[in-house]
């Protein structure tokens, strides 16, 4: 799934930095979640995409970083709302829960959906831990 998402993004002219994994061996998903979240948190990437078995663990890891709003979206409505109301900057998908076709639809929808701002901006600001 990762390779298909990567090709989809590159075909749209989006620069992709693939942080792994690069083979079929068992890995600790946390290492990859931290890498993407660190780069988004630090401003090196505007957005990121994470894929693991269910997406739950990746979401938990990524959201530990300041400024990261990682959203688990395994359906189109969640992808849309994560952008409209929450200005999500990392899309997380569960590779064992969705197929490749839906994954590409989710990425496309997520990329194309703007943040509405307004009252949602105020709510985002309240998310930061003081």
Run of H or E including 90: strand 90-94
Pick the catalytic residue from 6, 84, 85, 120: 85
Q: Does 22 qualify as catalytic in the annotation?
A: no
Catalytic option among 40, 49, 52, 98: 52
Report helix angle 76-84 to 100-112, nearest 10: 20
Cα distance between residue 88 and residue 101, in whole Å: 21
Catalytic-residue membership of 52: yes
List the structure tokens of 10. 């590159």
3-state SS of 25-65 is CCCCHHHHHHHHHHHHHHCCCCCEEEEECCCHHHHHHHCCC
| Residues recognised as catalytic | 52, 85
């Amino acid at each position: 799934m990762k390779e298909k998402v990567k090709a989809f993004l590159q075909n749209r002219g989006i620069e992709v930095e693939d942080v792994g994994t690069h083979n079929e061996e068992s890995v600790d998903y946390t290492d990859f979640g931290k890498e993407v979240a660190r780069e988004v948190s630090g401003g090196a990437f505007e957005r990121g995409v994470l894929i693991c078995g269910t997406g739950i663990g990746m979401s938990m890891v990524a959201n530990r970083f300041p400024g990261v709003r990682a959203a688990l979206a395994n359906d189109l409505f969640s992808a849309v709302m994560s952008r409209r109301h929450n200005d999500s900057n990392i899309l997380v998908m569960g590779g064992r829960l969705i197929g490749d076709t839906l994954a590409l639809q989710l990425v496309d929808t997520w990329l194309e959906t703007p943040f509405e701002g307004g009252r949602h901006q105020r709510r985002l600001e309240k998310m930061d831990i003081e």
